[in-house]
Structures are given as structure tokens and as C-alpha cells.
Structure 1
Amino acid sequence: MTENLDSLPLSDRLAREIRNLLISGELPAGQRLSEAAFSERFNVSRNSLREAFRLLTKDGLLRHEANRGVFVAVPTIATILDIYRVRRMVECGALRQSWPRHSAVTSMREAVEVAKIRREALDWVGVGSANMFFHESVVDLADSTRLSDFYERIAAELRLGFGLLANPEQLHAPFVELNDKIVKLVEEGMADDAAREMEIYLNLSERTVLKSLERHGE
């Protein structure tokens, strides 16, 4: 549930496109972004692209280094702790007010089924993308465009943290079944139970990501 992209200024649309690349895992933490390559990719001027980079830098997703260029940010332990603090408030809150026939429940179920298919193919990047869509759908249960837009920014930072794992299977494999359990509870009208399961899920996920950051030297 996001606002109409056509109503946004060009720089904002570009920022959202780049943020989606971060969420999908296409742009890993620490990668340098070429102005020339991205200007050609999106068929925009470098001035428009620089404004988009500035917006993403303000959001903490990119960093500018003098005489070196623009790089994808590497999350810190403090960032991850704060992200999960926000996720517990937003996702568990959205689940508590959920109802089985909400359209977002269908999206949650679809995300789980896609994750299962990608897991069978050992496509852990694909599993990760399906997982991100699952959690975006959870937030959509709140029926708040502003909240869903805010969560997109959180999701991009989170995916950067996921990208630091040496073994992505370690993170994503166990959570496919946990996602399945959560959506089943929502489908059965057990909103409070779903919220409790999500809190357990987020605690486990947080510990896994923090361990990977510690090994990364943060």
C-alpha cells in the first residue's frame, strides 16, 4: 500500500526505484554506485540522480565519500537494534488488529508459497525477496499508506543487513515455516497468537543478523 508514483517528483521516484533494488538484494552493502551507469539505466540526468542519492543518503541507505563517490551503506549494530525495535512495534501491532479476509492476508499467503518454491530451488536470494514481501504485507494489514511507505525504508536497511550473512540459508530457511505458521493463525482469526509468534520470529531473526554483523567486524 504505497502512494501513486506518478504523483511524486522525479528525484523521489528515482529514490524509490533504487530503494527497491536494495530491498530485492540487487545492491549489496558497501557497493559503489556509478553515476554514469545509473543515469543510463534510468535514462535521467546526473543532477536528478544526485538528488535521489541525496535523499537516500539522508535515509541512511547510501553514504557519500569525498573524492570516492557514493556507496551503499553498511548497517551498524545500533542500526539493526533500532530496526528490530521498530519492527516489533509495527508488525506485531498490525497483526493484533488483523482479520482473516483482509486482502493483505492473501499477499502474505502468496509470499509464503513463493518462498517455498524458491527454497526448493535453493535460491536463497529469492527466498529473501519473498520474505521481504511477506513482511511488507503484514504491515499492509494496518491499512496505513504512511506506515507502509515508512516500512519500505526500514526494509531496505534490513536487506542490507541480510546481505552481510555469509550463509543466507542460515537466515532464510527456518523462517519460511515460521511465516507459514503466522499466516495460518491470521487465516484462522487468531490475531493475538499471530502477533506473539511474530515477536518470537523477530527475536530469532535479530540474533541471527547481529551475529553476522559481529563476524563482519562492526
Structure 2
Amino acid sequence: MLRNRIAAGELTPGSKLSEQSLSTSLGVSRNTLRQAFTILAGESVVTRIPNRGVFVASPGAEEVREIYRIRRTIEPAAVLWGELTPRTLDEMEAIVQRAQAARNAGSVTDMADANQALHRAVVGLTGSATLQELMDRVLAEMRLVFHAMASAPDFHSHYVERNVELVKRLRAGEREEAAAGLRAYLDAAEAELLGHLAGTGH
């Protein structure tokens, strides 16, 4: 639940996580909550600062590079060798349509949600629960990076058409072109994020 709240932007980077209020609102013991903090700290989603408490992480340049190392390895492979069915293609098509509608409505959050959903669906093509779990962790950390991009609201809009193109290529059976396009997309997104983080002093 905490990972989901962080991924949804309800708990923002740098904010302190109060044991007392969270254990009450989630209806769990402090012991259970501490175990959750330990797991999330291992996933780089929260940071423990001795004598100060637990905070939602604020990923910097090295974390962004690590996110994209993982994504560049998994996502193109999923596109090349994952199982494509008419149903999964329809689901991906629906996601990119949602992204286009969000872009047209000027909703940055909905655009980010749809773009993230598409990349989650790409990894879903592998059929691997372990890779899906890894991707969920990566996407939760990506959300934290997106908060740093709040001052660049057009960030997500560049990638909507690239996602449309990706689904078109998959539908046409052009897997190699789709994988190459996806790698270029990930390179561009990483460079843009790193450039932005350098500009904001993160």
C-alpha cells in the first residue's frame, strides 16, 4: 500500500513518513510498518536517516541511470521475445489512446499514468511475475523522478506518439524495429531526465 501511495504521488519525495499516523491510517502495528520500511528502503523508494526518521526518497542522477539500465535490458527483450496476443495488443492500444486523450486534455498526471501503464504492459509480455515485480519497483522509483520534472510538464507529451508508434509496430509484427525504437526512446528519456536533474541541482 505504501509503495502504491508513493507511486501515485500521494506521498512525495522528501516527505517524512510518520510511524504513528501511518500505523493508525493503515491499521497495522508499528512493527509491521517498520518491516515495510525495510523492504521499501531496499527498493530505494524510501530513505532511512538515523535519528531523523524515514523519508520518501528523492532519486538523483545515479538512481536515474540505474533505472534506465534495468529498463533498457528488460523492455526491448520483452518486445522482441514476449508473447503477443490480439488481446494484449488491444489492451496496449487502449492505453495509448488514453495517453493521447490525456495529452489533448492537458492532464500531465493522466499522461504519466498511461505512459507508465504501457511500459508495465510491455514487461507483462514476458509472462514473468518476477520481472513484473521488478518493473513495479522501477516504476515506483520513476514516479519519484517525475516529481522532479513537475517544472517540465511537457516531458510526458513527447513520449505519447512514440508509444503509439511502438504499438503500431508490434501490431504489424515488426518486433525488431519496435525494440530498436524503444531503446532510442529510453535513451532519449534518460538524457532528458538527467539534463533536467542537472539543471535543478539534484
TM-score range relative to shorter protein: over 0.9
Name the structure 1 match of 2:181.
Answer: 197
Task: Find 1:88's aligned residue among 72, 75, 95.
Answer: 72
Q: Distance in 1 between matches of 2:112 and 2:9?
A: 8
Task: Find 1:158's aligned residue among 142, 150, 154.
Answer: 142
Name the structure 2 match of 1:105.
Answer: 89
Contiguous gaps of at least 5 residues in structure 1: 1-16
Amino acid at match of 1:65: I
Q: Aligned pairs, how many?
A: 202
SS of 2:58's equivalent? coil
Amino acid at match of 1:101: T
SS of 2:47's equivalent? strand
Name the structure 2 match of 1:59.
Answer: 43
SS of 1:115's equivalent? helix
Residues 96-143 of structure 1 show CA distances to partners (whole Å, capped at 9, x for unaligned) of 114542543333222212212222221101211111111000000111
The CA deviation at 1:216 is: 2.6
CA separation of 1:66 and 1:100: change in aligned 2, threshold 3 A: closer
SS of 2:54's equivalent? strand
The CA deviation at 1:182 is: 0.2
Amino acid at match of 1:186: L
The within-5 A match list for 1:9-48 is 17-48=1-32
Per the normalisation by structure 1, the TM-score is 0.86
Amino acid at match of 2:72: R
Name the structure 2 match of 1:11.
Answer: none
Task: Find 1:180's aligned residue among 153, 164, 170.
Answer: 164
Residues 158-202 of structure 1 show CA distances to partners (whole Å, capped at 9, x for unaligned) of 221111014342210111111011011111111111111101110
Runs of 4+ more than 6 Å apart: none
Identity of aligned residues (%): 34
- Contact 1:98 / 1:186 at 8 angstroms: preserved in 2? no
Pairwise CA RMSD: 1.6
Amino acid at match of 1:82: E
Per the normalisation by structure 2, the TM-score is 0.93
Amino acid at match of 1:45: S
- Contact 1:118 / 1:127 at 8 angstroms: preserved in 2? yes
Amino acid at match of 1:175: Y
Q: Distance in 2 between matches of 1:213 and 1:112?
A: 27
Q: Distance in 2 between matches of 1:148 and 1:198?
A: 18
Residues 17-65 of structure 1 show CA distances to partners (whole Å, capped at 9, x for unaligned) of 2112222232222111122332232211221111101110121110112
